[in-house]
Structure 1
Amino acid sequence: MRAVAVLFALGGALAVVAASSPAAAQNARSWVASTGSDGNSCIRSSPCATFAGALAQTNAGGEINCVDQGDFSGSGLAIQKSITIDCEGVQARLGVLLPIAVNVSTSDVVTLRGPDIDGNNAAAVGIAFTAGGALHVEKCVIRNFNATGSDIVVAGIGDSAANSELFVSDTIVTNNGAGTPGAGILAI
């Protein structure tokens, strides 16, 4: 009987430890590749297919890199934690119909370095910065955000984040807002 009580106590302790452990460990650095799969672990030897897949596998404050050139769009990208997406020197494309939504806490910093963000002349906004400490857009190309329709505001980057900082450097923002009230960068 005593052995059964010890086993129950040990089992209960293990259950508490298991419940408090994360379901899956996340990476400090994750990778995307043209041959990747979002079912992978997103490590260098087993990369993801999309930035959204890699973002889900990466710790807050971590980094996502590109193994090779490709389109890593997926179905959208909602950034809700500090992260760096660094694909400098690699032709990484994000063809987006919905904006890259950056909505993080006021102490968080997001850096986008290197991707080509293309609205395909159908999307309204490339990057929507709605909340956060700082957004750094470096060495990117943001183009072709030309959605049409009544009451549509078109911009390569839309910044409505209060008490935040937006830094744009070495970035080309072109062909946005053609034929509609629009801007390359629109701060509200």
Structure 2
Amino acid sequence: MRRIALWALMAGLLLPFVVSQPAHAQATRTWVSGVGDDVNPCSRTAPCKTFAGAISKTAAGGEINCLDPGGFGTLTITKAISIYCEGVIGGVLAAGTNGFNINAAATDHIVLRGLDIEGFGTGLIGINIIQAASVIIEHCNIRDFNGGAAIGISANPSNFNSMLLIRDSVISHNGTASGGAGVQINTNGGSARATINNTAIHNNFVGLNVLGTSNVQVNNSNISENLGTGFALSGSASARIGRSMIVNNLGSATTGSVLSYLDNQINGNNPDTTPGTAGGYH
């Protein structure tokens, strides 16, 4: 009887510790593969199949890496995370929906690198930024989001001083109706600062649409062959462009008070507008 009571006492002492231990701790780095399985732990030798499967097993601030080519599915991001797929095809097919929804904390940083995001003609938004401290989009191809007023990249943050960097990317064939755009940067009660560098914004409805209280800088980029305005600016937003091409757009080269560093190529648009000067280099 005494032995049974002792075992009962030990079990009672140990039970809280057993219950409190997670079945699987989240890793700081996880992996996805075209031949993976989401029941796996997403390790290098047992990768997951989708980004959605991997993010639940990745710690906040961690990385998801693409092990080999594959279609890894759409994703909603609610925490700091980096997704790296350079060197392989990190495919995302988003027919009839959004590719990525980013609605993280106002202090969270997000990196998306090396992704091929395809809307298949019916997609809505390639990358939809609702809230984050910063989002970096590098070496990505975002195309064929044509569900009416569809957008390749939409940044509409609710937090102040949200920062966006788009670098070395191609954003093409997005939007077929008014409101559609390759890139649209607006503010939903917050404020946004964005830099677009070495990026092609090509054959969208509007190329780059900047609204709200945004502050946007465009460098070494190509805004071309869009169905409407190349670079549209409205509201109290500010925008500057340097060492770039705004060419062959079926609408105006620019609308609103876009400022130029006077080193751009602007021609073949309807019409070729002349932006005001942003001053020289300092």
TM over 0.5: yes
The residue number in structure 1 matching 2:14 is 14
In structure 1, what residue type is equivalent to 2:108?
D
Map of 2:154 onto structure 1: 158
SS at match of 1:88: coil
The code of the aligned residue for 1:159 comes to A
Match of 2:132 in 1: 132
Residues 154 and 180 in structure 1, CA contact (< 8 A), matched pair in contact too: no
- Structure 1 Cα separation of the partners of residues 183 and 6 of structure 2: 65
Give the Å deviation of 1:2: 4.4
Aligned residue for 2:112, secondary structure, equals strand
Q: Which amino acid aligns with 2:156?
A: S
Please report how far the alpha carbon of residue 9 of structure 1 lies from its aligned counterpart in structure 2 after TM superposition: 2.9
The number of aligned residues is 182
Unaligned runs of 5+ in 1: none
Quote how far apart the aligned CAs of 1:7 are: 2.2
Alignment-derived partner of residue 110 in structure 2? 110
User: How far apart are 1:26 and its partner, in Å?
Assistant: 1.5
Query: Equivalent residue for 2:49?
Result: 49
Q: CA RMSD in A?
A: 1.4
- Residue identity opposite 1:80 in structure 2: T
Instruction: Between the two structures, name the one with larger relative contact order (CA 8 Å, sep ≥ 6).
Output: 1
Query: Which segment drifts farther, 7-16 or 106-115?
Result: 7-16
Asked if 2 retains the 8 angstrom alpha-carbon contact of 1:83 and 1:110, the reply is yes
Residue 91 of structure 1: which of 89, 92, 97 is its match?
89
Residues in 2 aligned to 1:167 and 1:13: alpha-carbon distance in whole angstroms: 52
Deviation of 1:178 after TM superposition, in Å, equals 2.7
Per the normalisation by structure 2, the TM-score is 0.62
> What SS does the aligned partner of 2:106 have?
coil
Equivalent position of 1:121 in the other structure: 121
Percent identical pairs in the alignment equals: 39
**CA offset digits 1:127-152 (Å, max 9, x no partner):** 1111111111111111111102xxxx
Q: 2:182 corresponds to which residue?
A: 184
CA distance in 2 between counterparts of 1:18 and 1:119 reads 46
Structure number with larger C-alpha Rg:
2
Letter in 2 for 1:181: G
Runs of 4+ in 1 over 6 A off after TM superposition: none
**Counterparts of 1:16 and 1:132, CA distance in 2:** 36
1:134 & 1:154 partners in 2: Cα distance?
23
What are the superposed Cα offsets for residues 126-181 of structure 1, whole Å, 9 maximum, x if unpaired?
Answer: 11111111111111111111102xxxx32111111132111111111111113443
